[in-house]
Amino acid sequence: MRFKKRFIDGIVLTGLKTLLIAGAIVPYKMGVVIGGLLGRLACYLLIRHKKKTIENLRFAFKGEMDEEEIGRTANACFENLGKSLFELLCIRWRGLKNIQKSITVEGEGYLKEALNLGKGLILITAHIGNWELLGMLLAQMGYKLSVIAAPAKNIRLGEMTNAYRSRFNIETIIRGERLSARKIIKSFRDNGMLGVLLDQDIESDGIYVDFFGKKAYTPTGITSLALRFNIPVLMIFMLREEGYRHRIIINKPEGLRRSGDTKSDILHNTAIFTGIIESFIRKYPGQWVWMHDRWRRGLMTAKDI
């Protein structure tokens, strides 16, 4: 099994390095088109991931989407990932100038107002649109950004990703590492922004909240931090539009409930964040990562009841 894993990891890394070279040669817009086509191809080759994508779409949109619409949405999901990958590869060589011209930013004033408080800022987003590019653009706009990431299963791929973020002045804080808590506190003290993805079932302290009407295990660490240190929280999303355009949407700060009952407040506020994420996924279902097993523990818990 270890040999097989190393072999597969090696293929993935070789493929990425090959695409990285392609990103240096192919014009940006052509690269995005090629990325979309490769994403569509992956939709047919990655049978297990395609199956999970279809299952999750049926589960979330039962009675709302017919099979034809589910199929189109699944294809769009893989296509978006392919485009996103090529966008990231292209900016490795060309920088962000080409992409910045096609970006609309809504709500940046909320960002500046929150930072003016001098407490630091928590940005909550999801695996929707091109979330990695979102962080790079914020850093390019002059904001000090750190992001929380899970430990990579593929160590070399994780190192490559972290180095890529670092190239754009983004600090990666690995969840659970010895110095992670210290780095997070330092980010707040430096009035920096801490970005976190809150839409996956991960190995972390969490609770069950409603997501598309079903219970989904959701991390609570970021909510606890916001409540404990009184840090402003903004929801932010980068969404793909027609052609090569993107739109960054920054919501007004979320007023956290502080009733004095810590457990209840964590549950309430985490549910609010998750509900906002769901609302954006409902508007742009073809841009979310439906192949993730989001309701895994929620379904297991329901069976035990």
Distance CA 186, CA 192 (A): 8
Closest CA to 105 of 145, 140, 78: 140
How many CB atoms neighbour CB 32 within 10 A? Answer: 22
Cα end-to-end distance, the chain, whole Å? 35
pLDDT of residue 70 exceeding 50: yes
How far is CA 6 from each of CA 83, 161, 227, rounded to the nearest angstrom? 27, 18, 42
Return the domain boundaries, the chain: 2-304
- The per-residue pLDDT for 7 is 46
Across the chain, the runs of DSSP E, i.e. the strands, are 103-106, 121-125, 145-149, 170-174, 193-197, 206-211, 214-219, 233-240, 246-250
> Mean pLDDT, to the nearest integer, of 97-118?
91
Contact 268, 256 (CB under 8 A): no
What are the two backbone dihedrals, phi and then psi, of residue 299, each rounded to the nearest 5 degrees?
Answer: -70, -40
Residue 25 confidence (pLDDT) above 50:
yes
Least confident of 4-8, 161-165, 237-241, 261-265: 4-8
* pLDDT band of 177, cuts 50, 70, 90: confident
The count of other CB atoms within 10 Å of the CB of residue 30 is: 12
Q: What is the mean pLDDT of the chain?
A: 88
* pLDDT of residue 304 exceeding 80: no
Provide the pLDDT for residue 38: 87
Which residue type, as a one-letter code, is found at position 117? L
pLDDT of 8 reads: 47
> Structure tokens of 247?
């739109």
- Find out whether 206 and 217 touch, Cβ atoms under 8 Å: yes
Q: What integer pLDDT is reported at residue 270 of this predicted model?
A: 97
Instruction: Give pLDDT, residue 126.
Output: 98
Q: Are the C-beta atoms of 139 and 172 separated by less than 8 Å?
A: no
Flag whether pLDDT at 240 surpasses 80: yes
Integer-rounded Cα Rg, in Å, for the chain is 19
Mean pLDDT of 51-67: 95
Least confident range from 48-57, 221-230, 283-292, 294-303: namely 294-303
For residue 3, what pLDDT is reported? 46
